[in-house]
Structure 1
Amino acid sequence: MSSQDRIQQRRRYLMCRPDHFTVSYEINPWMHRAHPTDTSRAVRQWQALHDTYVGLGHQVELIDPIPGLHDMVYTANSGLVIDGVALGSRFSVSQRRGEERPFREWFAAHGLDVVEPVATQEGEGDLMLVGETILAGYGFRSQLNSHAEVARVFGLEVVSLRLVDPVYYHLDTALCVLDPVQGPGGVERANIAYLPSAFDERGRADLVERFPDAIRVPASVPATLEMNAISDGRNVVLSPHPNSFVAQLRERGYHPVPVDVSELHLGGGGVKCCTLELRGARP
């Protein structure tokens, strides 16, 4: 399939400027307090990502950053929004629990029906909508028992996938939804790319069965966050890295759009982590 055949679908995203970004604690393998961070550089890179979305025709909403909440920039972890319903997140780590209330208040103020979660799950970090199915990661941050709650809230099938490599502690670090919704006329176009090594044997088997045409990306040494990417059905915004994933995307007719967010990698997040999709929210 050529890039002319891929259909871009306009998106609405929620982002947060990293005005207070720094690494003052370690809650994932990417974070090292001994490594200095440059907040101004993080802001410049974030702005380039924001401007890339706008330039591609997407709408970007902003939530105000709050001093002391260094990881608010990773808005994908704040919840899951489908058809105007926002299921908030419940963080597994104490350092991020202060983000829960501000995001839920933003959702409510912008016309979303907010559901407060009972079980621990970290939003789109571990919950990814593919067509009419939610792929749900667990093993490091989100709890397996949260998946029943997610299914109940949205009335959709939830497929549980166990993550086994702590470097890929969230699902969105190891899996990218390339065609996230149905195409015109209800034609199913859902497709994904993923790192098989990040999943247990059962998860790998489930992904092969459900997505036989998926892009399977070999693990990189050292590890990268390029799989933490955003696709609108044609354009795939991702962190630049010299490996085969970009070539695989081009072979499938996608248009890779590299954006350097390497400073934000120091907190364990990339392009997708900085981007929460607002499905059905009030304009």
Structure 2
Amino acid sequence: MTDRFLMCPPNHFEVAYVINPWMEGNIALGSNDIATRQWEALARLIGQVARVERMTPAAGVPDMVFTANAGLILGDKCVLSRFRHPERQAEEPHFGAWFRENGFDVLELPPDMVFEGAGDALLDRGEPLLWLGHGHRSTLECVPLLKEFLGIEIEPLRLVDERFYHLDTCLCPLEGGYLMYYPAAFDAESQARIMARVPADRRIAVGHADAHDFACNAVNSAGTVFMNRASKGLVRELQSRGFNVKQTPLTEFMKAGGSAKCLTLKLTEDRQSPDAGNLDARSVA
């Protein structure tokens, strides 16, 4: 099955407020022209291996470009996000309408429950497991309802560095059951959870510089990893595991605290079996 990704053009994108550390000092300092060129370059690259679906951007919600936060997809179900910050809550009806119009069964959490979609909820690529980040945006209170809605095991991970405020900024499940992550973004207990669940030969720990270039905020499809930037060492490590690495500058979006993964929402999400996405058994260009 060809992957499908939802993206929202950055027509109205700007840094208009501060809700994470990356935004500090960047209000009104971005270039929409550069952001558009960078966004189109990412969309073209992903479009070489997957299908990119574009939704209509809305004025007044500049962060709507970050479609990863729209909701959590599993099969034909979508758990709609409940944003923590009022600045982003106006995105919810736009995303809800798109999902309904495109055939998803939209499930809604109570209004007072905070959950920021596939920014904090990432499906493992080796087993039927949902990694859930909490501590900055999403809260643990949503776990019971997510289990009820989706019938999937959930592994909570506590985020402790405010610069890595969403799970997808510091952890990226990869095909074949690999996991790329920045250990320092998690508390000791969560680091231990990751090591207990993921074999050592499937863990790819990134260092400080790569993490702050948002290397973990990557898109993985058809054996290719798309990201803003990575060190030569990280590229070699990913290539040694069979991945093709594509780097494309996303500096304008990093001013708002986002990169490749934040700009996309995978629409073709299914439960993984232990052998699903076995990269080792495939020939990757």
2:215 — aligned with what?
Answer: 226
- Opposite residue 120 of structure 1, the aligned amino acid is V
* Cα distance in 2 for residues equivalent to 1:108 and 1:137: 26
Shift of 1:234: 1.1
Name the SS of the counterpart of 2:257 in structure 1: coil
* Cα distance in 1 for residues equivalent to 2:26 and 2:131: 35
Which one of the candidate residues 7, 22, 41 is aligned to 2:14? 22
2:259 — aligned with what?
Answer: 270
1:186 — aligned with what?
Answer: none
Count, aligned residues: 263
Gaps of 5+ in 1: 1-8, 180-188
1:161 — aligned with what?
Answer: 157
Which one of the candidate residues 74, 77, 83 is aligned to 1:85? 77
Which one of the candidate residues 130, 140, 144 is aligned to 2:136? 140
- Opposite residue 251 of structure 1, the aligned amino acid is S
Gaps of 5+ in 2: 271-285
1:235 — aligned with what?
Answer: 224
CA contact (8 A) 1:229 1:272 kept: yes
Which one of the candidate residues 114, 120, 125 is aligned to 2:119? 125
Is residue 190 from structure 1 mapped to residue 177 from structure 2 by the alignment?
A: yes
Which one of the candidate residues 207, 215, 227 is aligned to 2:204? 215
CA contact (8 A) 2:81 2:92 kept: yes
1:32 — aligned with what?
Answer: 24
1:182 — aligned with what?
Answer: none
Q: CA RMSD in A?
A: 1.6
Query: 1:76-108, CA deviations, whole angstroms, 9 ceiling, x for partnerless residues?
Result: 001011110000000000100000011011000
Is residue 151 from structure 1 mapped to residue 147 from structure 2 by the alignment?
A: yes
1:173 — aligned with what?
Answer: 169
Q: After the TM superposition, which segments of 4 or more aligned residues of structure 1 sit over 3 Å from their partners?
A: none
Shift of 1:249: 0.6
* Cα distance in 1 for residues equivalent to 2:269 and 2:237: 31
Shift of 1:219: 2.0
Is residue 63 from structure 1 mapped to residue 39 from structure 2 by the alignment?
A: no
- Decide which moves more: 28-37 or 103-112: 28-37
* Cα distance in 1 for residues equivalent to 2:71 and 2:37: 25
* Cα distance in 1 for residues equivalent to 2:234 and 2:69: 24
* Cα distance in 1 for residues equivalent to 2:232 and 2:182: 13
- Opposite residue 18 of structure 1, the aligned amino acid is P
